[in-house]
């Protein structure tokens, strides 16, 4: 038995994979990756793939950045672990907090709390907001407003904020008080003849009507991804975020920007809230903070929330929340070096410069049959496949064509993500213009091969 076959057998005998049909995997076996180099990864058979999703929307600096390995080893040799519980701290976490607040560059953001993931960051937001409102004598102000198709994580709290059927079904979610509003999905949810501005107005009316129906005194926070990712890549329509911010200010509701995907340059700005011109009360980050070389998440917030939490912790005697690896010194040292690379190599500027060739090149693929919509910003994009372009009619068996396209993409050496029949792309921020052209060329080939096979599926 070869090493590859041995690993497949071992994996199937011992592992349960996330976001996977376990029985289907038993028939096919996993695709085992062996090494990475720049924007490429290689499987155990030596086949090269362009990692067109940056792992999980997350690897800014590519898959072979030696400076991050060196930063980890240097910190390992100095202080391999220490916590920040019980009034302790260490240099890497202190310096990272200072750096994050500098990059956020917003007067509403001045404090940082560390977690191990984006899910835990959004769970922490729930607890922080509830803790604050209890301390302020507002025990009814606990509800969250989120959106349909949102993805905020998979822990019990964050998974409740998420609004994707597969993440709720048979998990008994949601379990916290959350109201899911209309997704800002202009391509499919706009009415006939409705402009983006009119669509935005309708969504904002829905938000305000919901606040008034539930009672502003019961609504704690509105949480949203500036550009929705895992639900299908939905850039917001014109004026959406400034309208949401205005409603939050009007009714004393905290505004939470989930920047787990968009933070640290994905859209060509340090944070997406800068691109859309709004100022959140809380920001959650993860993924590109370390380029996923190490697990790390964080919550950024301001003095108003901090002071209430600090006063209440003094009253109770402690702030009773945290994780063993919160602000782990090796992880935060890697994050510091990763952010240093992003700045030194101007990867945020690279995303801004490559936005036009990337987005325009993909939009040219809309000329192909079954490509209904191409959307995105910066180095984040999606192509939605439909049975009929004129009517936008979806395929009769949702997800089947997307799964076929993802299979063909693997055959053609491009890793992307099929979200139903939407194909998502999110290359590492180190991608070059030549590599962008190669991604688009491979996408054209993948779509052409998929189109040839669609009639055989009996869904067109």
Give the domain ranges of the chain. Answer: 31-61+346-457, 69-344
Tens digit of pLDDT for each residue in 368-388?
A: 999 999 999 999 999 999 999
Q: Say which CATH class 69-344 falls into.
A: alpha beta
Residue 101, classed as helix, strand or coil, is helix
Residue 452, classed as helix, strand or coil, is helix
Percent of the chain, pLDDT > 90? 97
pLDDT category, 357, cuts 50, 70, 90? Answer: very high
Least confident of 401-410, 423-432, 446-455: 446-455
Q: Which residues contact 284 (CB under 8 A, 6 or more apart)?
A: 118, 121, 122, 125, 256, 257, 258, 259, 260, 297, 298, 299, 300
Q: How confident is the prediction for the chain on average, in pLDDT? A: 97
| Sheet of strand 143-147: strand arrangement | 111-115, 297-301, 282-285, 254-258, 219-224, 143-147, 178-181
- Distance of CA 48 to CAs 38, 145, 207, Å? 11, 43, 47
Give the per-residue pLDDT at 460: 54
pLDDT category, 1, cuts 50, 70, 90? Answer: low
pLDDT category, 458, cuts 50, 70, 90? Answer: low
Say yes or no to pLDDT of 274 above 80. Answer: yes
- The neighbour count for residue 19, using CB atoms within 10 Å, is 10
Average pLDDT over residues 384-395: 95
Give the per-residue pLDDT at 429: 98
Give the per-residue pLDDT at 176: 98
Give the per-residue pLDDT at 219: 98
More reliable by pLDDT, 396 or 187: 187
Give the per-residue pLDDT at 164: 97
31-61+346-457 and 69-344 share one CATH topology?
no
Say yes or no to pLDDT of 250 above 90. Answer: yes
Token pair, residue 128, equals 């922080």
CB 269 within 8 A of CB 275: yes
Give the per-residue pLDDT at 391: 94
Instruction: Return the closest-CA partner of residue 33 out of 9, 4, 57, 58.
Output: 4
Give the per-residue pLDDT at 307: 98
More reliable by pLDDT, 242 or 4: 242
pLDDT category, 97, cuts 50, 70, 90? Answer: very high
User: Rounded CA gap, 118 and 123, in Å?
Assistant: 9
How many angstroms from the chain centroid is the CA of residue 399? 21
| Sheet of strand 371-377: strand arrangement | 371-377, 380-385, 422-425, 417-419
Q: State which CATH number among 3.90.1150.10, 2.40.30.40, 3.40.50.1100, 1.10.10.10 fits the domain covering 31-61+346-457.
A: 3.90.1150.10
pLDDT category, 2, cuts 50, 70, 90? Answer: low
Pairing status of strand 48-51 against strand 414-415 = parallel
pLDDT category, 49, cuts 50, 70, 90? Answer: very high
Say yes or no to pLDDT of 5 above 90. Answer: no
pLDDT category, 362, cuts 50, 70, 90? Answer: very high
Give the per-residue pLDDT at 459: 64
User: Rounded CA gap, 321 and 312, in Å?
Assistant: 13
Average pLDDT over residues 54-77: 98
- What's the longest Cα–Cα distance across the chain? 68
Tens digit of pLDDT for each residue in 299-316?
A: 999 999 999 999 999 999
């Amino acid at each position: 038995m070869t090493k590859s076959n041995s690993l497949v057998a071992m994996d199937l005998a011992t592992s349960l994979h996330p976001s996977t049909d376990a029985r289907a995997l038993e028939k096919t076996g996993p695709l085992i990756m062996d090494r990475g180099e720049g924007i490429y990864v290689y499987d155990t058979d030596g086949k090269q793939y362009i990692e067109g999703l940056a792992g999980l929307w997350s690897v800014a600096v590519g898959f072979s950045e030696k400076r991050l390995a060196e930063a980890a080893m240097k910190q390992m040799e100095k202080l391999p672990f220490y916590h920040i519980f019980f009034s302790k701290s260490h240099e890497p976490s202190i310096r990272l907090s200072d750096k994050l607040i500098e990059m956020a560059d917003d007067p509403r953001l001045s404090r940082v709390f560390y977690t191990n993931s984006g899910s835990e960051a959004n769970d922490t937001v729930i607890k922080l907001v509830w803790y604050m409102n209890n301390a302020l004598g507002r025990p009814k102000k606990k509800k969250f407003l989120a959106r349909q198709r949102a993805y905020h994580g998979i822990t019990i709290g964050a998974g409740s904020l998420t609004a994707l059927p597969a993440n709720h079904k048979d998990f008994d979610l949601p379990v916290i008080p959350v109201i899911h509003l209309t997704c800002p999905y202009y391509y499919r949810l706009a009415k006939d003849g409705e402009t983006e501005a009119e669509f935005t107005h309708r969504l904002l009316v829905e938000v305000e009507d919901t606040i008034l129906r539930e009672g502003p005194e019961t609504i704690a926070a509105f949480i949203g991804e500036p550009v929705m990712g895992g639900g299908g890549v939905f850039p917001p329509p014109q004026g959406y975020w400034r309208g949401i911010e205005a409603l939050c200010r009007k009714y004393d509701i905290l505004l939470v920007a989930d920047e787990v995907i968009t933070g640290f340059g994905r859209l060509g700005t340090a944070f997406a809230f800068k691109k859309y011109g709004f100022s959140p009360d809380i920001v959650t980050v993860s993924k590109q903070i370390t380029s996923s070389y190490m697990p790390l998440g964080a919550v950024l917030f301001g003095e108003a929330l901090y002071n209430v939490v600090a006063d209440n912790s003094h009253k109770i005697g402690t702030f009773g929340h945290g994780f063993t690896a919160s602000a782990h010194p090796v992880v935060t040292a890697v994050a510091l070096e990763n952010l240093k690379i992003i700045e030194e190599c101007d990867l945020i500027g690279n995303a801004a410069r490559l936005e036009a060739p990337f987005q325009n090149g993909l939009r040219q693929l809309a000329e192909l049959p079954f490509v209904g919509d191409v959307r995105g910003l910066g180095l984040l994009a999606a192509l939605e496949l439909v049975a009929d372009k004129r009517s936008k009619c979806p395929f009769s068996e949702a997800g089947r064509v997307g799964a076929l396209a993802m299979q063909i993409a693997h055959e053609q050496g491009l890793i992307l993500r099929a979200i139903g029949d939407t194909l998502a792309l999110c290359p590492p921020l180190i991608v070059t213009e030549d590599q962008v052209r190669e991604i688009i060329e491979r996408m054209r080939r993948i779509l052409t091969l998929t189109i040839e096979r669609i009639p055989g599926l009996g869904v067109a």
